[in-house]
Amino acid sequence: MLTQYIQAAMRHATYEILSNGTFYGEIPGLQGVWANEGALEACREELQSVLEDWIIYRLANNLAIPAVDGVELHVTRAA
């Protein structure tokens, strides 16, 4: 399920070239998930890494994670 979520979120990523020649990428709807790198592929890789860290942080802090394309992540706490 985690891989499906990451793949779905990455399909929504948008990229642009900034005036300084670097690439900026973000995933709309996922606040704070963005990256800025010198090459498009490096930006994509960094964006995915940021997304993974964002998911781990939100899970660890019991924060909501919005569904993406119908894919949801839920945490079940052990008793």
**CATH number where 46 lies:** 3.30.160.250
Q: What is the pTM of this model?
A: 0.92
Give the pLDDT score at 79: 59
pLDDT in tens, 31-63: 999 999 999 999 999 999 999 999 999 999 989
Q: Is residue 72 part of a domain?
A: no
Give yes or no for residue 14 having a pLDDT over 90: yes
Contacts of 2 (CB under 8 A, 6+ apart): 55, 73
**Domain tally, the chain:** 1
Domain extent, residue 28, equals 2-60
Tell me, yes or no, whether 77 lies in a domain. no
